[in-house]
Structure 1
Amino acid sequence: MVILVGSVAAAMTNIAPPHVEHLLLDAIAVLFGAAASLGIMYTLLASALVGRFFARSVNAPAQFPGVTVVKPLHGDEWQLSEHLESFFNQDYRGPVQFLFGVHDANDAALKSVEALRERYPQAAITIVADGRLYGPNRKIANLVNMLEHAAHDVLCFADSDVRVDSSYLRKVVGTLDEPGVGLVTTVYRGLCAPGFWPRVGAALTNYHFLPGVVTGVAIGRARPCFGQTIALTRQTLNAIGGLRQFAHHLAEDHALGEAVRRIGKTVAIPPLVVEHACVEGTFTDFFTHELRWSRTIRAADRSGHLGAVLMHPLPLALLALAFSGGAAAACLIACAALLARTLLVLRVDRATRCRTRGLWNLPLCDMLQFAVYLASFGSSGVVWRGIRFSVDGNGMLSPVRDE
């Protein structure tokens, strides 16, 4: 970064008088310093709101209706058996059907399902292998094919790489039972596979995504809906016209949430955090995954994604420091940004009852997250399940070529 700034300054020396160059650099430094200061204020606000969000309580459902847990599968993922098994160990008194779906009857993920069938012989397990497609979003096609076999009217969609605790179904159904609620979704933390890059991915999830959602919801700016949990009734799903309409969406979960809101229902987020596997073992895999996720957010909420620049106070402060030539004020802002981000990490871990680890990685993680954020404003293409897609201005997918 310093080398880049020096190169820019050298080029400017050849085309502008020294005093003009200094004024321009000072103006840029002030701009970044102001943005970093606003980012620090945001970070302190998020630190306060995270604790308040998870301090809420959730009532148990008045009744315990039957629930169909809908799990689309694809491949033998890291700790797939453990993730799936967490849904079998629920403190829920009602009947539960476990509905698993694949496009190919030979999918390796089914080995984990069969092992669970042997381990839980009394569980109601249904497997659907159906290759029908309705658009480029293969996850939606899988879900549409599976729903023909759903036994209960409460549907809980959850991604295959999610792990939950024993209170999960009780809290989700209890929230869905509240007046006016049409859909329940949840925030999530990163559960990292062994290795450096999975730890970085988990840090980005825990200390950028999670507090960002909590803060956005609290100030009325965010309208989230995440595939890690989408629970709704069959009646609500029919009222919005079913799932097939989302077969061309990149952010199908966001589009589903918006459809529920349009019929006058609320999308609720209980004080419940689930774990989402972070498994990208190389820098390329990590960056590709994070870039797809960032572009998904951009497709779902362009103005909100632009305003998310304030979620990066430390990189902004370091830019102010570089452009100012190490000015004392910029140094103070950078120190304040680092302290604010450290406080946020500690508050998130405390609120979610997790042990804080790897604080020394925080500056690197923040810089990588900022790089992903900047890159998301470039090409609108994404790579998903090995297939490259282009994404239009409405967030619609079009396949380009196989990777």
Structure 2
Amino acid sequence: MLTLPALSEVLGTALILAACAYVFLAAIALHKSRAPRLAMPASSGRPVTVLKPLCGAEPRLYDNLRGFCRQHYAEYQLVFGVRESTDPAIDVVRRLQREFPERDIQLVVAPQVYGHNLKVSNLINMLAAAKHDWLVLADSDIDVPDNYLSHVVAPLADPGTGIVTCLYRGRPGGGIWSQLGTQFIDEWFAPSVRLSQMFGSQRFGFGATIALRRDCLEGLGGLATLKDTLADDYWLGELSRRQGLRSVLSSVVTTTDVTETSLASLWAHELRWLRTIRALAPAGFAMSFVCFTLPILGIGLILAHNSYNFVMACAGMMARWWIHFTQRRGRDWQGAVYEAWLVPVRDLLLFIEWTVALTRWQVSWRGQVMNAKGHDPA
């Protein structure tokens, strides 16, 4: 039987090995995912409808929506939707209609609610105005390059494709909390996705972008199937995979605004993400503690503080900071250096959030309190 000191040594070493294995593999996955600037794919000639549900005058809303009006694509329709006639986002859409008269831009104002998920209700109302059979569902707070649409819809030409989705990087709105939120996206979420992709996973479906054909959507039971789910983006991919269709992670990476201005707002947002992940993949969530590199390495050294573990932990720490700097590649280098001190804060806060996410299922989303542990919509 192992003595307590021996057990501590084994446990500490195991934690350090697990944390190092994750961070090294994540760094490799990020390196492998780097690609030169994408050339424009040959046009499929298929017209596309982009559905953009809106709610309120978000920061940079005009700039983000304007990017969708400037796409290098032959024929596409933009459908914006709000629930209330007093929504300030309406003024932004009207401005775009005046600025781009050549674009097919429609606004749907419809208060009908079909379930607990108000975003899905909005999309159901908007879908009636969609003219085309290739659909792109895109969040309101993403910024996209001019070739976004052509790359995102290209895989839909293959009948074996169910959905196409995009990764995204964060853009902080200013202040420490938005910087930490950006690091959550760039240094935890994105590396985890790239690592899953490297090992062949197709369990992708991110609300920033979901592209699919209308016949695929109807084959899943339509948007009404998702009216009471929290993770509607995930379930669009999961249900299509159950039909034998492939999920594609696009080569396009979009940008999302991170606007949290307080610890409370950041905490609520990230806790919603974590509890949703826990509901969808409980085993994976339980093991995800190895992703919180610096706290796990610290705990491992406390339990097993020998020279071999110290060297391994130092190597793991270097890899963790490499991820921080490589994810800021091509952007503000001075900002990356300044924010490097936030890396241990980011990892520790995420570890605490993960622990709290184990305790309950309730999440807060756009003023609603919902239960993350939803039922399988199928």
- SS of the counterpart of 1:185? strand
How many residue pairs match? The answer is: 371
Q: 1:138 aligns with which of 118, 121, 135?
A: 118
- Counterpart CA distance in 2 for 1:32 and 1:251 is 36
Residue 381 (1) aligns with residue 347 (2): no
Residues 373-394 of structure 1 show CA distances to partners (whole Å, capped at 9, x for unaligned) of 2221111110011121223364
Residue 312 (1) aligns with residue 312 (2): no
Q: Tell me the amino acid that sits aligned with residue 240 of structure 2.
A: V
- Counterpart CA distance in 2 for 1:118 and 1:59 is 28
- SS of the counterpart of 1:270? strand
Q: Tell me the amino acid that sits aligned with residue 86 of structure 1.
A: G
CA contact (8 A) 1:51 1:348 kept: no
Q: Tell me the amino acid that sits aligned with residue 327 of structure 2.
A: V
Q: What is residue 287 of structure 1 aligned with on the other side?
A: 267
Post-superposition offset of 1:366: 1.3
Residue 65 (1) aligns with residue 50 (2): no
Q: What is residue 150 of structure 1 aligned with on the other side?
A: 130
Post-superposition offset of 1:79: 0.8
Q: 1:343 aligns with which of 322, 327, 334?
A: 322
Q: 1:119 aligns with which of 99, 114, 139?
A: 99
Q: 1:25 to 1:81 in 2, by over 3 A?
A: farther
Q: Tell me the amino acid that sits aligned with residue 348 of structure 1.
A: Q
- SS of the counterpart of 1:269? strand
Q: 1:110 aligns with which of 78, 90, 105?
A: 90
Post-superposition offset of 1:288: 0.8
Please give the residue correspondences for 1:257-276 in structure 2 after superposition, counting only pairs within 5 Å: 257-276=237-256
Kindly name which structure, 1 or 2, has the bigger radius of gyration based on alpha carbons.
1
Q: Tell me the amino acid that sits aligned with residue 320 of structure 2.
A: R
- Counterpart CA distance in 2 for 1:300 and 1:209 is 15
Residue range with higher mean Cα deviation, 312-321 or 31-40: 31-40
Post-superposition offset of 1:182: 1.8
Residue 166 (1) aligns with residue 166 (2): no
Q: What is residue 31 of structure 1 aligned with on the other side?
A: 11
- Counterpart CA distance in 2 for 1:269 and 1:58 is 17
TM-score with structure 2 length normalisation?
A: 0.92
Q: What is residue 332 of structure 1 aligned with on the other side?
A: 311
- SS of the counterpart of 2:261? coil
- Counterpart CA distance in 1 for 2:80 and 2:49 is 10
- Counterpart CA distance in 1 for 2:373 and 2:320 is 34
- Counterpart CA distance in 2 for 1:245 and 1:179 is 22
CA contact (8 A) 1:141 1:247 kept: yes
Alignment identity in percent? 33
Q: Tell me the amino acid that sits aligned with residue 32 of structure 2.
A: R
RMSD after superposition: 2.1
Q: 1:369 aligns with which of 343, 350, 373?
A: 350
- Counterpart CA distance in 2 for 1:207 and 1:373 is 16
CA contact (8 A) 1:184 1:231 kept: yes
Q: Tell me the amino acid that sits aligned with residue 29 of structure 2.
A: L
- SS of the counterpart of 1:199? helix
After TM superposition, which residue ranges in structure 1, 4 or more long, deviate above 4 angstroms? 56-59
Residues 322-366 of structure 1 show CA distances to partners (whole Å, capped at 9, x for unaligned) of 344x5544433432221010122333344xx44441222211111
- Counterpart CA distance in 2 for 1:394 and 1:28 is 40
Q: Tell me the amino acid that sits aligned with residue 278 of structure 1.
A: V
Residues 4-48 of structure 1 show CA distances to partners (whole Å, capped at 9, x for unaligned) of xxxxxxxxxxxxxxxx9xx53663454243123222122112212
Residue 232 (1) aligns with residue 212 (2): yes
Q: What is residue 82 of structure 1 aligned with on the other side?
A: 63
Residues 48-78 of structure 1 show CA distances to partners (whole Å, capped at 9, x for unaligned) of 2223223286771452311111000011111
CA contact (8 A) 1:184 1:268 kept: yes
TM-score with structure 1 length normalisation?
A: 0.87
CA contact (8 A) 1:74 1:102 kept: yes
Q: Tell me the amino acid that sits aligned with residue 165 of structure 2.
A: T
- Counterpart CA distance in 1 for 2:369 and 2:49 is 32
Residue 302 (1) aligns with residue 282 (2): yes
CA contact (8 A) 1:237 1:243 kept: yes
- Counterpart CA distance in 1 for 2:313 and 2:352 is 18
Q: 1:120 to 1:197 in 2, by over 3 A?
A: same
CA contact (8 A) 1:159 1:227 kept: yes
- Counterpart CA distance in 1 for 2:157 and 2:214 is 14
Q: 1:256 to 1:167 in 2, by over 3 A?
A: same
Post-superposition offset of 1:183: 1.1
Post-superposition offset of 1:318: 0.8
Structure 1 stretches lacking a partner, 5+ long: 1-19, 397-403
Please give the residue correspondences for 1:190-209 in structure 2 after superposition, counting only pairs within 5 Å: 190-209=170-189
Residue range with higher mean Cα deviation, 328-337 or 303-312: 328-337
Q: 1:220 to 1:58 in 2, by over 3 A?
A: farther
CA contact (8 A) 1:54 1:271 kept: no
